[in-house]
Amino acid sequence: MACDKPQSVEVTEINEENNLTEVSENETLTMEEEMSGVLVLKQMPEFKMEAYNAKTGHYVEVSSEQHSDKWRVICFYPADFTFVCPTEIAAMNASLKVIEDELGCEVLAISTDTKFSHKRFVETEPLLKGLQLTMGADTTGEVAKKFGVLIEGAGLALRGRFLVNPEGVVVAQEVQSPAVGRSVKEFIRQIRAHQAAAKTGDVYPAGWKPGKTVLPVSTEAEKMTGNVGSYVTIEEIMAD
C-alpha cells in the first residue's frame, strides 16, 4: 500500500490475496452516517490540490476552477500500488480519445496518495505504461470528504466517480466499495445520454445509446404520461 494506516484503525483491511474489504458492523453504521450525502443536482465542491500529470511527467496544481466551462469527470480510487485500481485507471486512459476528444470531458483521477507516490506508481505498474491522466494528491482526505467518499478511519477513498456539467453541477455519481472495479464503457454511455439530455431537454430510457428511442417530454409529455410503452418497448430497452 502507498499509505500507512494507524495501528488503532480497524475500518478497512485490503486482503492481498483477494482484495476484499472487510468493515466491522459498527463501523458500517458510522460510514453510512458520514457518506449519506448525495451530490447529484448540487454544485461540485470546491477544491485545490497538488497532482502528477502523467502526460507531461510534471507536478502541477489542480483545482475545481479549472475547465469550468467543460464537462468534467472526477474519479476517486482507494490507493496506488493496489490491485483493482490500476485496472480502472488503465481502462479510463484507454478511453480518453472518446471521453476527452469526442465528448469533451476533462478527467481527473484522485486518491489520498502523494504526488510522488503517483509518479512512482505510473513508472512501475505495467498497466499504466503511456498513461495520459492527471492524478490528484488528496493527502489530507479533505477533497474525498467533500465528495462524500472518504473512509475516515482508513484515510482512503471509496471508488467514487462524478460527472459534472459545464455549469458545475454534478449530474451523475457512482460509488462502490474497493473490491469491485467500475465499467468505463457504461460510464461513457451515461456521459452521452446526459449530454444529449442537456442539449434536447428530452429524457433517455434505461440502456439508451445513440440511435435508440428518445422520450420527447419537451413536446409530448402529456401524451406520454402513463403511456411510455407506446414509445419504447422492453425489447429495445434490453437490446445491446
Which tens digit of pLDDT belongs to each residue from 83-121? Answer: 999 999 999 999 999 999 999 999 999 999 999 999 999
Four-point Cα dihedral 154, 156, 161, 162, nearest 10:
90
Strands in the chain per DSSP E: 48-53, 58-63, 71-76, 105-111, 134-137, 150-151, 156-157, 159-164, 170-176
Query: Do 163 and 210 reside in the same domain of the chain?
Result: no
Average pLDDT estimate for 189-202: 97
34 pLDDT tier (thresholds 50, 70, 90): very low
Instruction: Give the pLDDT of residue 222.
Output: 96
In a domain, 2, yes or no: no
**Do 123 and 213 have their domain in common?**
no
Centre a 10 Å sphere on the Cβ of residue 164 and count the other Cβ atoms it contains.
Answer: 24
The cell numbers describing 174, all together, are: 457512482
CB atoms within 10 A of CB 205: 15
- Are 129 and 114 in contact by the 8 Å Cβ rule? The answer is no
pLDDT of 17: 32
- Residue 146 sits in the same domain as residue 90: yes
Q: Do 141 and 216 share a domain, yes or no?
A: no
pLDDT of residue 157: 97
pLDDT band at 172 (very low <50, low <70, confident <90, very high): very high
Q: Which of 184, 180, 183 is nearest to 18 (CA)?
A: 180
- Helix axis angle, 84-94 relative to 184-200, nearest 10°? 50
**Cα separation, 85 vs 111, whole angstroms:** 10
Specify if 53 maps to a domain: yes
Alpha-carbon dihedral sign for residues 90, 92, 98, 100: negative
Asked whether residue 16 is domain-assigned, the answer is no
CA 73 to chain centre: 6
Give me the domain span that covers residue 232. 202-238
pTM above 0.75, yes or no: yes
Pick the catalytic residue from 3, 75, 85, 105.
85
Same domain, yes or no, for 141 and 89?
yes
Q: 153 and 185: one domain?
A: yes
* Structural domain count of the chain: 2
Co-location of 136 and 218 in the same domain: no
The verdict on 147 and 165 lying in the same domain is yes
What pLDDT does residue 240 have?
A: 87
For residue 217, the SS3 value is helix
CATH number for the domain spanning 81: value is 3.40.30.10
Query: Is 234 a member of any domain?
Result: yes
- pLDDT tens for 214-237 read 999 999 999 999 999 999 999 999
pLDDT tens-digit map of 5-29: 333 333 333 333 334 334 333 333 3
Helices (H), 106-231: 115-124, 142-146, 184-200, 217-224
85 labelled catalytic? yes
